[in-house]
Structure 1
Amino acid sequence: MFAKQFRVKSNTVIKGSDRRKLKTDISNAFPMLSAEDLTELVPNKEELNVVKIYAHKGDAVTLYVLHKNPIFFELEKQLYPTVYTLWHYPDLLPTFTTWPAVLQKLAGGADLMLPGVVVPLGGLPEVKKGECCSISVVRNRAPVAVGTATMTTAEMLGLGMKGRGVSVLHTYTDYLWAFGDKSGPPSIPSLDSEVATEGDVEAEGEEGVGEHGDGDRATEPPCPSLEELSLEPREAGEEEGEKEEEKKDGDDADGEEEDSRSPQEQMDALLLQCFLHALKSKVKKSELPLLTSSFLRNHMFSCCPNGKQLDIKKSSYKKELSKGVESIVEVDWRNPELRSFSPPEDVAKEEGLAESNEESDRPYQPPEITTLYSVSARLQSLFEDAQKRKGAVLSSGEVRTIITEYVKKNELVDDTNKNYVNINPTLCDCLLEKSEYQEVEKLKWDDLFARTLDRMQHCHQLVFPGQEPIIKKGHIEPIDLSVASRGSNKKHRVQASTVLQPVPGSKDRVLIQIQGNQVQQAGKLLLDQYQIPRKYVQGLDKVQKPGKKK
């Protein structure tokens, strides 16, 4: 549901009565939560926002956001926890386990197929058809997806674990997860040992994802562990058995060029290579702090050359299980070893090829276009309480929320008519014309919001899939379709020559000249294939009328 960007309709602070209702609804939906748990999820005094959104397929969804993280979402009057909530309460829902390689497919919009489910020694969880459930990966109990069961547990077993098992609604790394702080799942050891082993990933007979994914077999090696990575040398005096195991593991390197280094030294070098490669080409400063488990899983593994596999057990670095959560908080980007590092040629080629293949296989998604507003110098005093300085970019919903909070904080709602707001000196200076200073004492709410937005700097945001948002000043200019006679009066039905040239005096605008009246074909291409909103395309009324051909 959230595999593609969604559109935010409104974002408001929850009212006291709605807060109490939400707490009751959560308690009814998830009775295992204690009173303390409910107070932690829905605190009495901390800010809790209600965000109304439209998913890419048009579904109306309500998000409940606490500390900038969505904690629940409501769809068709049913509450579902997000992965952020499940990381704190991993046993809140019945959980199915799958392989790490399947997670990528689920995040792309696929459902979980029963052949991809790992059956633990304790058996499958008992679920009913349509019941909310979660999905985790082997070796880590932290859920990474939320969905609904497509059948009962008995039916799953009766079908021999074939068919669709869980209809997935939300996953780790989707756009709902990205609406929060983008933290990664914690490492929560499994309570029950899985029947399958690592080698079983290669031997899976069927895909673990549904028809919405690309159907590739989950043959990626699973993460050796989702525990925190600590690059510290082993202490002297480790058990002799580990040395024997390292020697045995070294026999797996058949077919590779002879290397005088021990298997442990080779793994150390590979870990360091992937570590530096991930820091230099995968991690952005804006991502910090970054969980070490996420860094290992999402960045270092992807930097490993083909034919090799990272395995911390075979290195001189040890895993440390800590009660807390370890993160990479800061990186010395000027470190000489990091600055001088460049990935081996074969790795760089593989990476470039993989990126180009990924881009070519990725289905087209239209850009998301959003109108935004920037705080102007005139309105600085009005936005001071919200700590928004000149130049801060906000959505219209955020502006309405800030203005509403300002009015309530300063008790400016008119006592005789709640539809009006009394004008104080700040509102007078920011929103009224000089001629209105002595005449206007109050404004309607709608007029108050309209004047505020009108006096802000207009901006627009473009979000292309997989790219950072682009914010530009001013209104976005629409595509203008026009027809003009040039020289002869020849017109062609579809085949036509085309000329592309920049518009004189403009930096980013281009002019496309097409021979003949191609408004209908161009309009259909823009609206249907490229899915540009109709309001950004002008001139569609210039389509040639039947019977007018010459």
Structure 2
Amino acid sequence: MFTKAFRVKSNTVIKGSDRRKLKVDVSTAFPLLSESELSEVVPNKEEINVVKVYAHKGDAITLYVLHKNPLFFELEKRLYPTVYMLWQYPNVLPSFATWAPVIQKIAGGADLMLPGVVVPSCGLPEVRQGECCVVKVVGNEAPMAVGIAAMSTAEMSSAGMKGRGVSMDALLLQCFLHALKSKVKKSELPLLTSSFLRNHMFPCCPNGKQLDIKKSSYKKLSKFLQTMQQQHRVVRVKELTKGVESLVEVDWKNPVKGTVLQPGEVRAIITEYVKANELVDENNKNYVHINPILCDCLLEKSEYHEVSILKWDDLFSRTLSKMQECSQFVIAGQQPIMKKGHIEPIDITVASRGSNKKVGVHQCLTVNSHLL
């Protein structure tokens, strides 16, 4: 949120009544703070500045600054601690530990993937979905990031520690694409965007998860749909009635919703991803380091905390095995036909008749591909 430039709207000294309210809000939001600690972060007499800023995505944020250090920030009427405050009081919130390379990805805006969470011998802390928590590096008690739990501790365990622990954008996109592919019919268009969300996207949300657009980076359905329209051209949205938007067109063939790739193309994509994320082992170029995303996609549950690198060939074979197989039927004079699922090889048997004439079965040619 603060990795890019933000704009300061105002900077004022807090008033007495607002100071008392802030103290109550901090005490309510962080009950583990003792009375003495509460008086330290919200002192009675020392100057506290209230700074209102706009983040690079337009979010309106209120910062509470003491001794030139931001201690809390308020977003959508919810109070969060900053890492500066948590360095002084690291045990105020439940924490999850991960590895240093993962923190670098989080700093760039990535989600914390559950395979990247290091589970201590005492188990994970008890958190509820939507609860504020912190992320630390293994061996360092200083919190490095603040986030919202996307699922409860019980849900993390039942999910086999696979998936995303913090954030919402990926779930939003998943429900959106699933709804377009399996729920929306052409005869329903134009379709009110509010009806699309309520009757199509919400039913596509996986069990145990809750779709909440306000917790995504888009904040509003209209902004998300605008992105899908302008950047990916998956849908076209139009205001048919003043103030009311509708889906008027869907591109069901858009590659964002799935595309057929030959094995060579898959290898090229994986190679590009590995190099772009600098995952090639510096000491042995034949090996690739497994980051949280590759861990989530390719490793078995028993391998999460044991496998950290893979050979290139193993990386490619695991990727292909995780993709849906499909086959293309090519018949002379007709358009190719694409079918999902595995198909058994076609045998051509050559036999000799009494006239010594060779005969055989010639039906079609199959080309194995994979669906991403």
Name the larger-Rg structure.
1
**TM-score interval w.r.t. the shorter chain?**
0.3 to 0.5
Structure with the bigger percentage of strand: 2
Q: TM-score normalized by structure 1?
A: 0.31
Q: TM-score normalized by structure 2?
A: 0.46
